[in-house]
Amino acid sequence: MRNKAVFLDRDGTIIKEVDYLKNLEDLELIPGSAEAIGLLNKNSFKVIMATNQSGVARGYYDEHFVQEANKVLAQELEKHKAYIDGIYYCPHHPEVGDKKYKVECDCRKPRIAMFKQASDDFSLDLAGSYTVGDKAADILAGKKAGCKNVLVLTGYGLREKEKLVPDIKPDFVADDLLSAVNWILKDNKQSRDIQL
């Protein structure tokens, strides 16, 4: 039996948006996000973080910094007995950076290479999975991957909500990650009840 997952964006969804996280001291959990991830852990969802990190291509920081920031995030979540099962990031950008990073890649959301890799790594049922993020690119990636999608109004969410058009409309709009997870748990229960 394949696993269900919730794909989470990082900046603006789990941690506060600071317009490119360049200092570890600026990494701060959005209130309720650790509790939300803990609820997913307890309800047998795989928690997958899939994040665009074009700050690498832009020269704001290197991949080592992204990995260090993700370690600090994991430590912060651990304090609340929550954890992320898999972490995937895209360091590329199609228009900026040196030739190593200035590429039209398949991993930068709204493309779905990170979703496909996670699906292979964790034996995921993408149709039974969810995506949560604060940008239209998160929602579009989730739709392309076959997931249900939640836009959170933290980070860039309020601004992005105004830009959404019918073909990338989320299944739900939530105030924050905790509200999103509460909706996901309710929606998943209803889906399960219907299947039974």
CA 7 – CA 110 distance, rounded (Å): 13
11, 134, 138, 176: the active-site residue: 11
Q: Respond yes or no: is residue 9 known to be catalytic.
A: yes
Q: Respond yes or no: is residue 125 known to be catalytic.
A: no
Tokens for 109, please give them: 């959301």
Contact 68, 83 (CB under 8 A): no
9, 134, 138, 176: the active-site residue: 9
165 Cβ contact partners less than 8 Å away, ≥ 6 residues apart: none
CA 73 – CA 9 distance, rounded (Å): 13
- What is the H or E stretch that residue 41 is in? helix 33-42
CA 50 – CA 48 distance, rounded (Å): 6
Q: Where are the beta strands (DSSP E) in the chain?
A: 5-8, 46-52, 86-90, 130-133, 148-152, 172-174
- One-letter amino acid at 115 equals F
Q: Where are the beta strands (DSSP E) in 45-137?
A: 46-52, 86-90, 130-133
Residue 54 DSSP symbol: T
Q: Which residues are catalytic?
A: 9, 11
